[in-house]
Amino acid sequence: MSYEKVSQAENVIIGTKQTVRALKSGHVLEVLIASDAEPRILHSIIQAAEDASVPITMVDSMRELGKACGIDVGATAAAILL
């Protein structure tokens, strides 16, 4: 279900730095995070999402998240924009 949200969304940001930046700017509707990513990388995304009161959805695989975003590599995080 979560992968479908990303693949159907019109405005998606992919990647850790871009997701954190979008969260800080207040333009994020929901964040999706791959549970198989490194915890130290996820910490900054989770903290920024909590600070912005944005819901976080955990997905199983970086590879599948990347695929849902339309890229050929894995993605640690993706943000669906307002």
57-80 in b/e burial notation, b at 16+ Cβ within 10 A? Answer: eebebbebbbbbbeeeebbbbbbb
Q: How much is the pTM?
A: 0.91
Radius of gyration of the chain (CA): 11
Q: Do residues 52 and 21 touch, judged by C-beta distance below 8 A?
A: no
φ and ψ at 53, to 5 degrees? 55, 45
Q: Name the architecture of domain 2-81.
A: 2-Layer Sandwich (3.30)
pLDDT score for 46: 96
Parse the chain into domains and list their residue ranges: 2-81
pLDDT digits (tens, 9 = 90+) for 22-81: 999 999 999 999 999 999 999 999 999 999 999 999 999 999 999 999 999 999 999 999
